[in-house]
Amino acid sequence: MGSGLFRGVSKGRPEGWAAATKEPSFEDVLPAFPGAAAQSRKKDKMAYYEHVLITRQDISPQQAEQLNEELKALIEAQGGHIAKIEYWGLRNLMYRIKKNRKGHYSLLAIDAPAAAVKEMERQLSINEDVLRYLTLRVEHLDLELSPILARRDRERERRFDDVPA
């Protein structure tokens, strides 16, 4: 029935292999690995993320901020925390994305487990109002004003300083 090459081999095991012998499973080997305990601790630890979101130009600023609040509720429901939400406003895009020339930009500073961020990205990929999003893991959260808003505030101060009293 079989070829002479495979004589003495039954179901991938050599002759004399005890059927009662249990092969070590991945779970049996993993705890012996020195970094296994550290990896399980990393799952519980929350990481810091910066998340930039671009939504369609057709929605109102209130709807863009409502989407930010929905993301905040989603993250907090999964044990995370949003330290900062900045709405940058309607800005020009460098190139057209899904037939849009402008988009509402938002920046979120997030302290959350990876599963919460993954779920947030899944929800954003479903949402038709979202053009693009980018989530970056960072070492620490920067709670100061972003360069975009800092520049806008400086420009407003200059305008008010130039107005004669």
Rounded to an integer, what distance in angstroms lies between the CA atom of residue 105 and that of residue 84?
14
Backbone φ, ψ for residue 129 (5° rounding): -80, -15
The pLDDT, as a whole number, for residue 12 is 56
Averaged pLDDT, 109-130: 94
Domain containing residue 118: CATH number? 3.30.70.60
**Residue 15 DSSP label:** T
Where residue 33 falls (left for φ over 0; alpha for ψ -120 to 50; beta otherwise) is beta
Rounded to an integer, what distance in angstroms lies between the CA atom of residue 52 and that of residue 73?
17
* Residue appearing with tokens 């130039």: 162
The pLDDT, as a whole number, for residue 39 is 47
Answer yes or no: is 106 within a domain: yes
The pLDDT, as a whole number, for residue 146 is 82
Answer yes or no: is 58 within a domain: yes
Answer yes or no: is 50 within a domain: yes
Averaged pLDDT, 93-99: 92
Domain housing 113 = 46-162
Answer yes or no: is 124 within a domain: yes
Please answer whether residues 90 and 64 qualify as being in contact, where contact means their C-beta atoms are separated by less than 8 angstroms. Answer: no
> How many folded domains does the chain comprise?
1
Averaged pLDDT, 117-135: 94
Rounded to an integer, what distance in angstroms lies between the CA atom of residue 155 and that of residue 149?
10
Averaged pLDDT, 154-162: 76
Q: Is the pLDDT of residue 23 over 70?
A: no
Answer yes or no: is 11 within a domain: no
Q: Residue 165 burial by CB count (10 A; 0-12/13-18/19+): exposed, middle or buried?
A: exposed
Non-local CB neighbours of 84 within 8 Å, separated by 6+ positions: 107, 108, 109, 141, 143
Confidence label for 80 from pLDDT (cuts 50, 70 and 90): very high
Indicate the pTM of the whole model. Answer: 0.66
Answer yes or no: is 37 within a domain: no
Answer yes or no: is 13 within a domain: no
Least confident of 17-31, 39-53, 85-99: 17-31
Q: Is the pLDDT of residue 41 over 60?
A: no
Answer yes or no: is 32 within a domain: no
The tens digit of pLDDT for each residue in 57-71 reads 999 999 999 999 999
The pLDDT, as a whole number, for residue 150 is 82
Cβ neighbours of 103 (radius 10 Å) = 25
